[in-house]
């Protein structure tokens, strides 16, 4: 099973449309990790067979999306959050402890606009970067999470 992971679109849904056209029939779920979660959710009527899920970020003032969510897929627990409430721009330590506390298999977060994918102990962490406003040396990007036989892996890609 594959999950398309995007974040930090900031009102620019052209990249989301491109990715949905590319992946909607190939993935089980598409996740938006905040900062204009509505950019993804507005496509629900165009992609009714694809599970679209979003959490709110620090720039999501008028949304009904939750601040965090644990997604349960194939007996795996995946924590979705934007990351600003755990100061991910300063350090990932608080986020790592929180993921352990929540007893999840993966933690997906955004906010930094910089992509990263790694495993820390039993937990897989991914930040897909930003689909519209990359920072540092990164380019606009997204992630693909794979669940196979209860094992979670993933990669970040440039658009």
Kindly list the structural domains of the chain, giving each domain's residue range(s) and its CATH number in brackets, ordered by start: 2-158 (3.60.21.10)
Task: Give tens-digit pLDDT for 13-42.
Answer: 999 999 999 999 999 999 999 999 999 999
Q: Is the pLDDT of residue 109 over 90?
A: yes
Instruction: Using pLDDT thresholds of 50, 70 and 90, give the confidence band for residue 6.
Output: very high
Average pLDDT over residues 48-72: 93
E strands present in the chain? 2-6, 29-32, 51-54, 68-73, 76-81, 106-108, 116-120, 123-127, 141-148, 151-158
* The model's pTM: 0.95
């Amino acid at each position: 099973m594959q999950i398309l992971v995007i974040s930090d679109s900031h009102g620019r849904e052209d990249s989301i449309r491109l990715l949905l056209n590319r992946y909607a029939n190939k993935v089980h779920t598409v996740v938006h990790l905040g900062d204009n979660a509505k950019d993804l959710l507005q496509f629900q009527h165009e992609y009714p067979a694809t599970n679209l899920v979003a959490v709110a970020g620090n720039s999501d003032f008028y949304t009904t999306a939750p601040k965090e969510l644990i997604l349960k897929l194939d007996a795996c627990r995946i924590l979705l959050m934007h990351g600003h409430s755990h100061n991910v721009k300063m350090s990932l330590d608080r986020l790592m402890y929180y993921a352990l506390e929540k007893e999840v298999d993966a933690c997906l977060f955004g906010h930094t606009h910089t992509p990263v994918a790694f495993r820390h102990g039993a937990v897989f962490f991914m930040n897909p970067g930003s689909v519209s406003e990359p920072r540092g040396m990164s380019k606009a990007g997204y992630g693909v999470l794979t669940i196979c036989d209860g094992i979670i892996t993933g990669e970040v890609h440039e658009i």
